[in-house]
Amino acid sequence: MLGKVALITGSAKGLGKKTALTLAEQGCHIALNYVHSEAEALSLRSEIERMGVPCIAVKADVSRREDIAQLVEQVRERLGTVDILINNAGPFIRERKLFAEYSEAEILAMIEGNLVGSLLLDHLVLPGMREKEWGRIVHFGFGHASESRAWPHRAVYAAAKTGLVSFTKTLAVEEAPHGITVNMVCPGDIRGGNKEKSIKEAREIQDGETPLGRPGSGEDIARVIAFLCHSDSDFITGNIMDISGGLDPIRPWIKPSS
On the question of pLDDT at 255 being above 60, the answer is: no
231 pLDDT band, cuts 50/70/90, is very high
- Which residues face 57 on adjacent strands? 32
pLDDT at site 149: 84
pLDDT at site 252: 57
- Which residues face 183 on adjacent strands? 138
Burial of 14 by CB count in 10 Å (0-12 exposed, 13-18 middle, 19+ buried)? buried
pLDDT (tens digit per residue) in 159-202: 999 999 999 999 999 999 999 999 999 998 888 899 989 999 99
* pLDDT above 70: percentage of residues in the chain: 96
Domains of the chain are 5-243 (3.40.50.720)
pLDDT at site 146: 87
Single out the residue of 183, 65, 56, 182 nearest to residue 121, CA to CA: 65
Beta strands in the chain (DSSP E): 5-8, 29-34, 55-59, 84-87, 135-140, 180-187, 240-243
126 pLDDT band, cuts 50/70/90, is very high
* pLDDT above 90: percentage of residues in the chain: 81
On the question of pLDDT at 208 being above 90, the answer is: no
pLDDT at site 253: 52
Segment 7-23 shows an average pLDDT of 97
pLDDT at site 144: 85
Distance of CA 85 to the CA centre of its chain: 9
Q: Which amino acid is at 37?
A: S
pLDDT at site 213: 87
pLDDT (tens digit per residue) in 25-58: 999 999 999 999 999 999 999 999 999 999 999 9
pLDDT at site 251: 63
Average model confidence (pLDDT) across the chain: 93
23/210: higher pLDDT = 23
